[in-house]
Amino acid sequence: RKEVEQDPGPFNVPEGATVAFNCTYSNSASQSFFWYRQDCRKEPKLLMSVYSSGNEDGRFTAQLNRASQYISLLIRDSKLSDSATYLCVVIPPGGFKTIFGAGTRLFVKA
């Protein structure tokens, strides 16, 4: 099983749609989880941290399910500018090594 696994997509959605991404991780003792977005040939940029209670930032909602070892990201009312690759990031125990998923590509079309 891969350390961090994501559906590669691509997801093609119209503007205004709701889209959800899932990510699974293998190390049940992992403590820290994030969603980053990466535009083509650019650096990853933090979208949001993921906490056990779930968290929301505007149109974005992240959830963590420790029992099933997965993280989700929900994007509501998709905008053209949401088109990017969404990276699931997990930090195992110890805290210094960071594991990226391969990313899920999203295309939002007018």
Partner 1 sequence: EPEVTQTPSHQVTQMGQEVILRCVPISNHLYFYWYRQILGQKVEFLVSFYNNEISEKSEIFDDQFSVERPDGSNFTLKIRSTKLEDSAMYFCASSEGPSVGSVKETQYFGPGTRLLVL
Q: Which residues bind partner 1 (CB under 8 A)?
A: 31-32, 34, 38, 41-46, 49, 87, 91, 94-103
What is the smallest separation between the CB atom of 7 and partner 1, expressed in angstroms? 14
Query: What is the torsional sign of CA 29, 35, 39, 45?
Result: negative
Q: Given the complex with partner 1, which of 17 and 102 has the nearer CB atom?
A: 102
Taken in order 79, 57, 50, 44, the sign of the CA dihedral is positive
In the complex, what is the shortest distance from the CB of residue 19 to partner 1, in angstroms, rounded to a whole number?
Answer: 21
- Of 22, 11, 8, 9, nearest to 109 by C-alpha is 11
**Positive or negative: CA dihedral 45, 7, 19, 13:** positive
Nearest residue (CB) to partner 1, 40 versus 110: 40
User: In terms of CB distance, is 64 or 108 closer to partner 1?
Assistant: 64
Tell the smallest beta-carbon distance from residue 21 to partner 1 (Å).
Answer: 15
